[in-house]
Amino acid sequence: MQEYLTPLSLFIILYSFPGTGGQSPCPDPEAIIPCVCSHNETLATVTVDCSEATSSEEIFSAFNDADWPILNLTSFWLERNDRVEQLPEGVFGDVTFQEIEVSRTSVESIDPEALLPSKDRLERLDINNSKLKEFPFEIIAQFSILTYLSLGANELTSLSSFQSSSLETLGVAGNQLTFFGNMSLPNLRSFLMSFSSHLNLHLRKNEIAVVNEESFRPILEVISNVTGNIDLTDNPVVCNCTMAWIVLNPAFLTKVTGSCTDGTDFQDLDPIDFQNCVDRIP
């Protein structure tokens, strides 16, 4: 059969994919099974879907052992998969993405070195309804154009200190968060204001009892000048003096959604009741 591949037929094969320099952006489909690479010419997107993978090794092999004609792809998908438990170091080889979506999976951990190759290209990272126990928040600062980070409905217990100058939406609803680190968003406010954008922080259904000033003030200072809110619905928030800094500041109070353990909606808290919290401080 080899002799049928004359120079003319090779020419036709190589030049039959317009717009990609004569090359399909996807590897030989056989070489990446069970992953599937699809090129949408209308949208100019290249998506790799590894939802049929039965192990991390299969995903690793698809990216590391196949020949990828183009390394800067659009999306990676892993959905409804109960076999893959981790995305290890180097899992995507030299391939980078604008968007990574992991949903309804058994993924428990993600190595920082799985994500870092995409640090200059990743705009959207959504890992939801999975089993994540930890997330490498410390690397987020390096993701220069990441605007959307959603880690909803996982098993995270802490949101460690991190910073980002690009993030607009952070979703961590439906975890078991009890620890909330300092979020340093030094450039976020000018970014947000100059684009009159919004910031939403989804903290629903966690275990936050104290809305401590050290962690939340920087975020509320940003949000108070733009659209957006902090959603604390379904958290065991204790409305004692630790809430005074919010209740006594109308600009902050309107940006916080949720209620106290005694059922009082935050919006119905009376500043007068909290006045003596500050009076007590010498």
Ligand X SMILES: *[C@@H]1O[C@H](CO)[C@@H](O)[C@H](O)[C@H]1NC(C)=O
Q: What does the binding site for ligand X look like in residue numbers (CB under 6 A)?
A: 40, 42-43, 72, 101, 103, 126, 128, 150, 152, 161, 181-182, 189, 209-210, 214, 221-222, 225, 238, 240-242
Tell me the closest approach of the beta carbon of residue 89 to ligand X, in angstroms. 23
Looking at beta carbons only, is 61 or 173 nearer to ligand X? Answer: 173
Tokens 């109070």 -> residue: 253
Looking at beta carbons only, is 86 or 148 nearer to ligand X? Answer: 148
- Looking at residue 118, the DSSP 8-state letter turns out to be G
Looking at beta carbons only, is 61 or 237 nearer to ligand X? Answer: 237
Looking at beta carbons only, is 11 or 179 nearer to ligand X? Answer: 179
Tell me the closest approach of the beta carbon of residue 225 to ligand X, in angstroms. 4
Dihedral sign for Cα atoms in the order 63, 66, 72, 78: negative
How many CB atoms neighbour CB 43 within 10 A?
A: 9
The identity of residue 72, as a single letter, is: N
Tell me the closest approach of the beta carbon of residue 33 to ligand X, in angstroms. 20
List C-alpha distances in Å: 181 to 23, 112, 163.
47, 19, 10
Looking at beta carbons only, is 189 or 205 nearer to ligand X? Answer: 189
List C-alpha distances in Å: 205 to 33, 36, 156, 246.
38, 35, 12, 20
Tell me the closest approach of the beta carbon of residue 142 to ligand X, in angstroms. 18
Backbone φ, ψ for residue 271 (5° rounding)? -50, -30
Tell me the closest approach of the beta carbon of residue 74 to ligand X, in angstroms. 7
Spatial CB neighbours of 224, under 8 Å, sequence gap ≥ 6:
251, 252, 255
Looking at beta carbons only, is 61 or 191 nearer to ligand X? Answer: 191
Looking at beta carbons only, is 122 or 222 nearer to ligand X? Answer: 222
3-state secondary structure of 276: helix
Cβ(75)–Cβ(48) under 8 Å? yes
Tell me the closest approach of the beta carbon of residue 37 to ligand X, in angstroms. 12
Tell me the closest approach of the beta carbon of residue 112 to ligand X, in angstroms. 19
Element (H, E) at 59: helix 56-64
Residue 280 exposed, middle or buried by CB count within 10 Å (0-12, 13-18, 19+): exposed
